[in-house]
């Protein structure tokens, strides 16, 4: 097989122009300070867990894993941070003198020559897409200080369960929305001068695909196309929900604007498992646009119903808002008493069921009545005293 790596090295070594000069690469001061702070977090994590952070379901650990991979893939950042590398997470740092050194330091396999046939096939090379991808590369966010506290607030609200990480849908692509992409929180700060309605539901038409400004919590930003962001989120992303206060504000604004009706239901599990029986006041709260009896007829085969039959305690008709928002509002209201129930599904795998709450039935119905009458806004649930009170 033709040695493409050797050919590339020859090209670089005989390059007389400064175009391929890697010695001038640098990291801005603000970006480096943010990166150093993140690397200290990684060191702390290693000290506490005796292992490097992994890319798993824990959002904090996943975020640190992404940052560590980013550092390892950038020689300039590795070299600057090596002095803070308490646990040799960055390995040996060798100065880059030749292209061979670049290949040897290629942690991300971006130069993997196993794909050389595809990489050098000019017929499959989309120049316009390549230009777009180049422009959309992440770069330091010069005004990141304006967003830093906002990201800290998002993490705090996730920890307190005032926000949730939920499934991403196309309709979630709105300015000011937060997402989790590859374990990192990202803000869709702006959609450039296009009507979002022209974008939704379309595929592949660049005229209806506006640029964005996305701010990442590691201090970088990107102006990728909205369609590119959508694809990335579908592949490996989630949406961060509104807070309870934001959801209620949206509900108030939109009440009566939609003619969608359905039922808020309250269910009791009939499971014979002792771990479930032992949870006091355990109820599932949800929303269905269909008759609730139809929704639960297959309960024993669905994880969300704990793979057991359920008793329908109540079904309350409600209209004027989208199903997802109604469900999110009432569940956010009781988020501090949300139960994390682990069960074994029909395939023998451990799974977690959500939407189950340990709240007295009369309190649940009080909240539902307040919501139906558009009075839930301004009320709070005291999970210690098990009462609903009105804000002063």
Cα 113 to Cα 102: distance, rounded to the nearest angstrom: 13
Cα 364 to Cα 331: distance, rounded to the nearest angstrom: 10
| SS3 (DSSP) at 305 | helix
pLDDT tens figures, 151-195: 999 999 888 888 888 888 888 888 999 999 888 899 999 998 755
Cα 163 to Cα 240: distance, rounded to the nearest angstrom: 7
Continuous H helices in the chain:
4-13, 29-49, 59-72, 75-81, 99-104, 116-119, 127-135, 145-159, 196-199, 226-236, 244-254, 274-277, 292-295, 323-333, 361-372
Q: Kindly tell me if the per-residue pLDDT of 257 is higher than 80.
A: no
> What pLDDT does 149 receive?
92
Cα 164 to Cα 239: distance, rounded to the nearest angstrom: 8
Structure-model confidence comparison of residues 31 and 365, the more confident one: 365
Q: Kindly tell me if the per-residue pLDDT of 258 is higher than 90.
A: no
Q: Kindly tell me if the per-residue pLDDT of 386 is higher than 50.
A: yes
> What pLDDT does 208 receive?
65
The mean pLDDT of 225-254, rounded to a whole number, is: 80
Q: Kindly tell me if the per-residue pLDDT of 65 is higher than 60.
A: yes
pLDDT tier, 46 (very low <50, low <70, confident <90, very high otherwise): confident
Report the predicted TM-score, pTM, of the whole model to 2 decimal places.
0.42
> What pLDDT does 199 receive?
53
Q: Which of 120-134, 149-163, 231-245, 250-264 has the lowest mean pLDDT?
A: 120-134
> What pLDDT does 134 receive?
46
Question: Average per-residue pLDDT in the chain?
Answer: 76
Structure-model confidence comparison of residues 128 and 296, the more confident one: 296
| Residue 297: alpha-carbon gap to chain centroid | 32
Q: Kindly tell me if the per-residue pLDDT of 280 is higher than 90.
A: yes
The mean pLDDT of 10-37, rounded to a whole number, is: 57
| Residue 18: alpha-carbon gap to chain centroid | 40
């Amino acid at each position: 097989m033709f040695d493409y790596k050797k050919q590339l090295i020859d090209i670089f070594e005989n390059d007389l122009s400064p175009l391929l000069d890697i010695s001038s690469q640098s990291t801005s001061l603000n970006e480096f300070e943010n990166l150093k702070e993140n690397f200290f977090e990684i060191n702390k994590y290693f000290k506490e867990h005796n292992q490097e952070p992994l890319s798993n379901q824990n959002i904090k650990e996943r975020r640190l894993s992404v940052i560590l991979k980013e550092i390892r893939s950038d020689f300039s950042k590795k070299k600057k941070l090596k002095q803070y590398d308490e646990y040799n997470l960055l390995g040996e740092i060798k100065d880059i003198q030749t292209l061979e050194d670049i290949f040897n330091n290629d942690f991300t396999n971006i130069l993997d020559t196993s794909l050389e046939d595809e990489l050098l096939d000019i017929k499959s090379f989309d120049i316009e897409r390549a230009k777009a991808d180049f422009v959309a590369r992440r770069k330091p966010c010069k005004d990141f200080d304006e967003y830093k506290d906002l990201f800290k607030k998002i993490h705090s609200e996730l920890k307190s369960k005032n926000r949730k990480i939920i499934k991403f849908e196309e309709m979630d692509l709105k300015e000011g929305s937060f997402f989790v992409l590859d374990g990192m929180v990202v803000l869709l700060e702006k959609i450039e001068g296009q009507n979002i309605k022209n974008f939704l539901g379309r595929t592949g038409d660049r005229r209806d695909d506006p640029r964005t400004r996305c701010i990442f919590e590691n201090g970088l930003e990107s102006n990728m196309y909205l369609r590119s962001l959508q694809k990335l989120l579908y592949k490996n992303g989630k949406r961060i929900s509104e807070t309870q206060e934001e959801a209620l504000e949206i509900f108030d604004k939109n009440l009566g604007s939609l003619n969608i009706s359905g039922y808020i239901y309250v269910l009791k599990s009939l499971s014979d498992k002792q771990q479930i029986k032992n949870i006091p006041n355990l109820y599932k709260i949800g929303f269905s646009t269909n008759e609730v009896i139809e929704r639960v007829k297959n309960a024993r085969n669905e994880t969300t119903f704990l793979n057991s039959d359920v008793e329908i305690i109540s079904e309350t008709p409600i209209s004027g808002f989208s199903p997802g928002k109604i469900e999110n509002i009432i569940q956010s209201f009781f988020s501090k008493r949300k139960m994390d129930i682990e069960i074994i599904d029909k395939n023998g795998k451990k799974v977690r069921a959500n939407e189950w709450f340990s709240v007295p039935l009369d309190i649940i119905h009080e909240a539902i009545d307040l919501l139906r009458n558009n009075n839930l806004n301004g009320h709070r649930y005291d999970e210690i005293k098990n009462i609903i009170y009105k804000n002063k």
